[in-house]
Amino acid sequence: MERKKIAIIGTGLIGGSLALQLNEKGLASKLIGVDASPENERVALERGLVDEITSIAEVTEKAEVIILSIPVDQIVILLPGLLDKVTDQIVIDLGSTKSQLTGSVQSHPKRGRYVAAHPMWGTEYSGPAAAVHGAFENKAVILCNVEESDADALEWTKNMFSRIGMHQLYMDAQAHDLHAAYVSHISHITSFALANTVLEKEREDNAIFELASAGFESTVRLAKSNPKMWVPVFKQNRENVLDVLNEHISQLRKFKSCLEKENWEYLEELINDANKIRRIIK
């Protein structure tokens, strides 16, 4: 696979972790960082995530592959302008929503140079200091609307994800956003809401710290996620998130009703139904 000069716009958790694996797998002849935060740029250089820093204005002149790892509202703004400037460069985004992004450039004359991707990995932390070695190994990446990408751009992107250990799924953008709402976005909303519930009801920080079990910690872990990333995701995927949130609220009402009516048999049935998730997640 041909090594390329790769620019990563957004050197935080996802972009920084990807930079580590691109280096380790020898996929980049040079890694170039772009970030709105001078502190992130400094840390990315100090940690060796990137070889140099450049600006948005110069990125198409310096890189053969441009990877967008920034909040999805910023991708929508930047993507058309980047495609205006590319010749044969490849542009890849790593955003958690896809319909609005792909729709924003569907009629662009350079649409074929763009590959829409969503690696299904992340943590509750942010910034280049949070970058993780081997983050994407054995994880899934969803490639969307692949028929709209040029064959060479798609092939290089697929090879890149394969080399860093990811298995690939293909979906149209609307299907992606629907499934992402069910398996990712609702988890974050639930975690944010649970954290707010506990903080509202339990006024003693020490009690939370001392009594929190591993189950509570794992459930609210996502509540530490960056709102600058997640508000744009919820905004762009509003309809699908509302759909799954309504179903989630309906399920919560069933549990609430069981407790109010002391219907222990139905409560056990609800929990047994939930246990069926073991078939899928071990």
Phi-psi category of 26—alpha, beta or left, where left has phi over 0 and alpha has psi -120 to 50? Answer: left
- Tell me, what's the pLDDT at 281? 79
Domain residue extents for the chain? 4-172, 176-279
- Tell me, what's the pLDDT at 124? 86
pTM of the full structure: 0.91
What are φ and ψ of residue 52, in 5° steps? -155, 165
Residues whose CB is less than 8 angstroms from the CB of residue 20 and which lie 6 or more positions away in sequence, other chains included = 49, 131, 132, 133, 135
Query: For residue 145, what is the DSSP state?
Result: S
- Tell me, what's the pLDDT at 138? 96
pLDDT in tens, the chain (282 residues): 788 999 999 999 999 999 999 999 999 999 999 999 999 999 999 999 999 999 999 999 999 999 999 999 999 999 999 999 999 999 999 999 999 999 999 999 999 999 999 999 988 889 999 999 999 999 999 999 999 999 999 999 999 999 999 999 999 999 999 999 999 999 999 999 999 988 887 777 776 767 766 677 777 889 999 999 999 999 999 999 999 999 999 999 999 999 999 999 999 999 999 999 888 877
> How many angstroms separate the CA atoms of 173 and 9, rounded?
22
- Tell me, what's the pLDDT at 5? 97
Paired with 275 in beta bridges are none
Q: Locate 267 and state its tokens.
A: 């409560």
- Tell me, what's the pLDDT at 178? 97
- Tell me, what's the pLDDT at 202? 73
Amino acid at 258: C
What's the Cα-to-Cα distance from 79 to each of 53, 83, 106, 120, 277, rounded to whole Å? 19, 6, 11, 21, 38
Domain 176-279: homologous superfamily in CATH: 6-phosphogluconate dehydrogenase C-terminal like domain (1.10.3660.10)
Domain 4-172: homologous superfamily in CATH: NAD(P)-binding Rossmann-like Domain (3.40.50.720)
4-172 and 176-279, same CATH topology: no
> How many angstroms separate the CA atoms of 164 and 151, rounded?
20
Give the chain's length.
282
Q: Residue 252: exposed, middle, or buried by beta-carbon count in 10 A (0-12, 13-18, 19+)?
A: exposed
